[in-house]
Amino acid sequence: MRIAESELILNGRGAVYHLNLLPEEIASTIITVGDPDRVVLVSKYFDEIEVKQSHREFVTHTGLLSGRRISVISTGIGTDNIDIVLQELDALVNIDFLERRIKAQPQSLNIIRVGTCGSLQADVPEDSYVVSTHGLGIDNLLNFYVHANNEEEKSILQQFISHTQMSQRFAQPYVAAGAASLLKHFVKGFHHGITITCPGFYGPQGRILRLGLAYPEIIDRLTTFQCGNHRILNFEMETSGIYGLGKLLGHNCISISTVVANRVAGAFSKDAGKAVNDLIEKTLEIITSNNI
């Protein structure tokens, strides 16, 4: 079936609309960062940069590092932007732009989020690294798509809803696991656990400035949740969307975060920039040494 111009929007140079990218301008291994200024912090390590494109908050550099072709793309903040980025990345590899038809043989991308987060556990301090085994969303994005969970995901979700009573007051939570093929490479020096994805930075993460909170107990409920060996380590604003859409579209996704704030201890990193840069270096070394 042909995809209409109103559904898949291409710009004047034939590139996908929001990302302003052509299929040949991305690699099969993609690092996503929230901040557009962080793209250059990754690409400065490339041996060669082949492509530089940008549109709005979406900045892309594609280049070579130790013989590996890698793209780094900024997403901006939030799962609304993740909806755009994941769908358009998938379109770049799995839709024929000339025919406007889905390709017969789907291609999988390796998508690695490198970002920041707030810790929800005292033993996961600022400047440490968290790998998300699961993204548990309270942002509602995946509920607009047909999706299903495996038994482990169902168990986590059911116990989370029972523990927090969140579905009765806010969006219906959803959950998706990270790709085992990528998780196995990020073990030494990383904390593994569930990541909560929130639809905002202040109230949805329990911060109080001038407004009262409808759910003031959110931090306590999240820190005390446990399902078997699974516990919630951190929260941020993109992971569940990446994991959920990535799983549905057939891509391998992993989310890695530097802890810049420990919400239990009330502490903030003394040098968040260095912590982020150290994680970038570590991630690139793992990608190249494991041929990801």
| Residue pLDDT, tens place only, 81-137 | 999 999 999 999 999 999 999 999 999 999 999 999 999 999 999 999 999 999 999
Kindly state the average pLDDT of the residues 152-181: 93
Spelled out in words, what is the top-level CATH class assigned to the domain 23-289?
alpha beta
pLDDT at 175 over 90: yes
Give residue 170's pLDDT. 85
Q: How many C-beta atoms lie closer than 10 Å to residue 81's C-beta?
A: 21
| Pair 29, 73: CB distance under 8 Å | no
Q: Which residues contact 252 (CB under 8 A, 6 or more apart)?
A: 108, 109, 110, 111, 179, 181, 182, 246
Residue 222 has a pLDDT of: 97
| DSSP designation for 234 | E
Confidence of residue 171 (pLDDT cuts 50, 70, 90): confident
d(CA 241, CA 46): 28
The arithmetic mean of pLDDT across residues 177-190, rounded, is: 97
pLDDT of residue 147: 96
Tokens of 260: 């810049």
Mean pLDDT of all residues in 241-264: 98
**pTM, full prediction:** 0.97
The one-character DSSP state at 171 is: S
Among residues 238, 271, 248, 247, which one has the least CA distance to residue 115?
238
Pairing mode, strands 252-262 and 230-236: unpaired
Query: Above 80 in pLDDT, residue 168?
Result: no
Amino acid letter, residue 72? V
What is each CA distance from 7 to 4, 16, 100, 233, in whole angstroms?
5, 11, 10, 38
DSSP3 helix / strand / coil % (the chain, rounded to 5): 30, 30, 40
Give me the mean pLDDT over the 258-275 stretch. 95
Residue 211 to residue 107: CA distance in whole angstroms: 46
Q: How far apart are CA 77 and CA 55, in angstroms?
A: 15
Closest by CA to 241, choosing from 292, 175, 189, 180, is 175
